[in-house]
A and B are shown apart, each in its own frame.
Chain A
Amino acid sequence: AQSVAQPEDQVNVAEGNPLTVKCTYSVSGNPYLFWYVQYPNRGLQFLLKYITGDNLVKGSYGFEAEFNKSQTSFHLKKPSALVSDSALYFCAVRESHTNAGKSTFGDGTTLTVKP
């Protein structure tokens, strides 16, 4: 069975500092990995994904994530945080070689960026 762990319920950073939101996963084969962001009373919005190729992927709003197969991680990063980045972030994994197409989501990490 596939699973996702987001070990930090909350991440606090100061505006202008770099941020990292951690994600580790478990799948039986090769993964498809996704990051989504959720603002209050809104649905999840796609940020970026890793399918294949370059381990460093870039996405919306200046976010990037690095796929590390040996550590089974896909941490979300941004070089300089903005107050407007404050939101709930979800990591998701899908096994690439089955027809199931089911995504498993982590429980989310609340990012707070303070001025």
Chain B
Amino acid sequence: EAGVVQSPRYKIIEKKQPVAFWCNPISGHNTLYWYLQNLGQGPELLIRYENEEAVDDSQLPKDRFSAERLKGVDSTLKIQPAELGDSAVYLCASSPGDRGNEQYFGPGTRLTVT
């Protein structure tokens, strides 16, 4: 079974530039998560999708961050414009949807904003 795929793995951009991350979840997983992970900390939820619906985006900084999950499969997370403080690892995860199910994580995208 293929795992969660994320691209790119690494991205270096200058501040004020836009950046986008892509995630393809495990086939059949209707729940998709985007997390931010800072060094030395656990993942923090940015947004959770149930199929194509964003059911929890309370932690997403909507002034600069946006996300979409068209057709309820793969997803894109965008930052525009990026700030120095956005440097972090962005993790995508998926699960079959039930609250008792574990999440399957992708390898993450390490973003460096200079």
Interface residues of A (CB under 8 A from B): 4, 32, 34, 36, 41-46, 49, 51, 90, 92, 94, 96, 100-103, 105-108
Q: Give chain A residues whose Cβ lies under 8 Å from the Cβ of B56.
A: 100-102
* B102 engages A101 (CB within 8 Å): no
Main secondary structure of the interface of B (DSSP, over half): loop
| B91 CB contact (under 8 Å) in A4, A43, A101 | A43
Q: How far is the CB of B106 from chain A (nearest CB, A)?
A: 5
| Stretch of B40-48, B67-75, B76-84 with 4 or more beta carbons under 8 angstroms from chain A | B40-48
Q: Give chain A residues whose Cβ lies under 8 Å from the Cβ of B66.
A: none
Q: Which residue of A lies closest to B100 (CB)?
A: A51
| B48 CB contact (under 8 Å) in A49, A101, A105, A107 | A101
Considering the complex, which residues of chain B in the window 42-101 have a beta carbon less than 8 Å from any beta carbon of chain A?
42-45, 48, 55-56, 91, 93, 99-100
